[in-house]
Structure 1
Amino acid sequence: MRFENLEIWQRSVELSVEIYEHFSGHRDFGFKDQITRSSLSLPSNIAEGYERNSDREKALFLNYAKGSAGELRTQVHIGSRIGYISEAVGIRWIEEVEQLSRMLFAIIRRMQ
């Protein structure tokens, strides 16, 4: 199966695009760099995992993606608290990342 056909990859790409667009003109380059890189890491690690040959390697990269999801959730929480992200957007992003993390967990579990 091509990773581009996976719902989890498609949704994580959409989230990353939305985060990049949200922070496109942002002046806090340190925060902007961190949150966009963690959002980019999520679909990138899913893609890399699905390009690997063994379930063991695939699970390793999906675990990296799950770690990136935790990093991204943390940054969204902080961004919301310091006023960089509105409460409504922050809640929506956190809910989406939590769903993606649960999906990753289920996929990883099936491989083991």
Structure 2
Amino acid sequence: MVVKSFEDLNVWQRARELINRIYTVTKNTKFSYDRGLTDQIRRAAVSIMSNISEGFERGSNVEFIQFLYIAKASCGEVRCQLIIAFDQGYIDEKDFIEIKEMTMKVSGMIGNLIAYLRKSKLKGTKFKKANKKSIKEELDEILEKYTSKKH
């Protein structure tokens, strides 16, 4: 599958599922009373999805990797806040385990993407030449250039 936009990335799609799950669980009456924690966990979840998107749009693997590390760190932040919510009785064990597993899955996927990008010989889309010519076209131009001139 050719990835043309960040929406095509499986990791971004999983991050989207995670954020929707976070928003659902934080609407719970017990959780919603703790506005500080609700705001913090939502912001951290948004950060995961946003940093994947922003890094992808930078068009450079080096910058993408940098933003992926931020997204990965935000996964850890969500997991930590989830533990706090569980300890405070804001969420039940079933939701806690489910969402914790989602954060670990997304974090692992981000780590795998980072490893792939580090090994890739491609630098990113912003390094592609506009109107890149084929080798044949370049050779034809060179041959024409040298055969049309008198040496």
Query: Taking structure 1 as the reference length, what is the TM-score of the superposition?
Result: 0.95
1:70 corresponds to which residue? 76
**How many positions carry a matched residue from both structures?**
112
Secondary structure of the corresponding residue to residue 33 of structure 2: coil
Partner residue of 1:18 out of 3, 16, 21: 21
CA distance in 2, matches of 1:110, 1:8: 13
| Alpha-carbon separation, structure 1, partners of 2:71 and 2:53 | 10
- The structure with more radius of gyration: 2
Cα RMSD (Å) of the superposition? 1.0
Instruction: Give the share of equivalent positions with the same residue, in percent.
Output: 40
Give the deviation of 1:20 after TM superposition.
Answer: 1.2
**Displacement after TM superposition at 1:10 (Å):** 1.0
Residue of structure 2 equivalent to 1:93: 99
Tell me, what secondary structure is at the counterpart of 1:83? coil
Is 1:6 aligned with 2:9? yes
Residue of structure 2 in register with 1:42 after alignment: 48
* Cα deviation code 1:3-45 (max 9, x no counterpart): 1111111111111112112213512110111111111111111
With normalisation by structure 2, the TM-score equals 0.71
Match of 1:103 in 2: 109
More helix by share: 1
**Equivalent position amino acid for 1:108 in 2:** I
Q: SS of the residue aligned with 1:17?
A: helix
> Could you tell me whether the CA contact under 8 Å between 2:44 and 2:77 is conserved in 1?
yes
* Secondary structure, counterpart of 2:83 in structure 1: helix
C-alpha separation in 2, matches of 1:91 and 1:55: 33
Contiguous gaps of at least 5 residues in structure 2:
119-151
> Unpaired runs of 5+ in structure 1?
none
